[in-house]
Amino acid sequence: MSKHVMEAFEERASRARLGGGAERIKAQHEKGKLSARERIELLLDEGSFEEFDMFVQHDCHDFGMGEKHIPGDGVVTGHGRVDGRRVFVFAKDFTVFGGSLSRTHAGKIAKIQDLAMRVGAPIVGLFDAGGARIQEGVDALGGYGEVFLRNVLASGVVPQISCIMGPCAGGDVYSPAMTDFIFMVKDSSYMFVTGPDVVRTVTNEEVSAAQLGGGEIHTTRSGVADGLFAHDVEAMSQLRRLLSFLPSSNRESPPRRKSLDPVKRVEPSLETLVPDNPNVPYDVKELILKIVDEGDFFELQEDYARNIVTGFARMDGMPVGIVANQPLVLAGVLDCDASRKAARFVRFCNAFSIPLVTLVDVPGFLPGTSQEYSGLIKHGAKLLFAYSEVTVPKVTLIVRKAYGGAYVVMSSKHIRGDVNYAWPSAQIAVMGAAGAVEVLHRRERDDAEAMGRHVAEYEDRFLNPFVAAERGYIDDVIAPGETRMRICTALNMLRDKRLENPSKRNGNIPL
């Protein structure tokens, strides 16, 4: 091949790698943002990125677009490796037409979505975009449809992770919404169906981009996002960490690692974790960190529905999904938001064969008109449906309270919990002693001495784990310090578990 041909090739490739040009990349940096290719370099193992469609250009000729062609057409796509494992990635390039989506831009994304499903590898999307390319009209809308369809088809087949790293609106938020996890970057990323200008025109409401769809909003109020990172570098580092817990596809088992944390490690401090007074809270995250491998816990939606904790950890090197009631917030009750948050996480774990460890301290469902009007019945049923449907190994530990229907919902033996343990501090009952006595002995309500006696009798009879253990609903009452060892042993025993649900097209979860 002649030197001239090679020089022309190198020049064209260099021009394509610059996207919208050095000035626009500089503008990205001045906003505290990295370019699309810089983000990919941080996400993937060094030198592993194989780019596709670098020279693709749009074919639109309306509104002067025939004179504007930039190689790559606003999105960088390809595959590489994270910790040596294959990952497909696309990164919207804001320096090219604001990252807006055209028909050919969508085709690039759809191509790697198809490949990822074919070979069985995760898809990571890095979003920094201005929505549909208006000049293309229905072609752009059709392109979104092609991407959306593949989001749905890939769901439960390969993990899909979205990171919002700039302004995203319209179609560029619907696609992330159908992926498994959404993360945002503080002060530089926004998500909304319609932006502040449209809101102002339609509703006369004055609202800033941050107030409408900033990272703080979506990680604390809407629950749309699973986490908020300080900057692009932290975002890419944490995405690598998340991928380390996940299998490449539903055809594989989660990646097991050799752990230096002894399985038989005893934690005597757990014996004093639960206060003697059942109304005094404690932090369930202390329990989580003390029983998982090396205290490594990747929490999801940390600032949303904080009365329940969800995230990934390892036990004896095996990835597990943790679901735990949080007594520090609303006493750990289940409400609409907590039920939805946990149900979605439980279903993800089941889709990718990740065992579930459930830590229970729940006084029930949150009462009140606000919850009832918000649909607590159906939202609570989502979690019940999710736990009942899953077939992965399920190990449950009742730490303190397990009252009423919430006891059943939180992976009880009655909905196919495989191994169910309780600490001696566990209280398994229809309701707390005071409330139960109010119902059972209402005629003696004005007799304080008698009511006190009845409360003591109820506590002695029911507020312990042994009634449930006598009936086989609890497999064993265990010493708190031995919790890690017992859960690890149960998970190892369940490693080859096989369970199939009745054949059906799909269940009808109460959405």
Q: Which residues are catalytic?
A: 170-171, 405-406
453 secondary structure, DSSP code: H
Give the strand pairing for 356-362 and 394-403. Answer: parallel
Q: What is the spatial distance between Cα 449 and Cα 310, in angstroms, rounded to a whole number?
A: 43
Q: What is the spatial distance between Cα 29 and Cα 188, in angstroms, rounded to a whole number?
A: 12
Owner of token pair 């606003």? 74
Kind plus residue range of the DSSP H or E element containing 76: strand 75-82
Rounded to a whole number of angstroms, the CA Rg of the chain reads: 26
Q: Give the 3-state secondary structure of 295-347.
A: HCEEEECCCCCCCEEEEEEEECCEEEEEEEECCCCHHHCECHHHHHHHHHHHH
Q: Give 110-121 as a DSSP string.
A: HHHHHHHHHHT-
Q: Give the 3-state secondary structure of 131-147.
A: CECHHHCHHHHHHHHHH
Give the CA distances from residue 173 to residues 147, 179, 235, 277, in Å, rounded to whole numbers and listed in that order. Answer: 12, 10, 18, 46
User: Can you tell me whether residue 403 is helix, strand or coil?
Assistant: strand
Which two tokens mark 103? 């028909």
Which two tokens mark 423? 């600490």
In single-letter form, the type of residue at position 281 comes to P
Reference 254, options 119, 355, 123; nearest CA is 355
398 secondary structure, DSSP code: E
Residues 6+ positions from 340 with CB-CB distance below 8 Å:
223, 305, 379, 382, 383
* HSE-CB for 220 with a 13 A CA cutoff: 8
Q: What is the spatial distance between Cα 396 and Cα 417, in angstroms, rounded to a whole number?
A: 7
Residues 6+ positions from 294 with CB-CB distance below 8 Å:
259, 260, 261
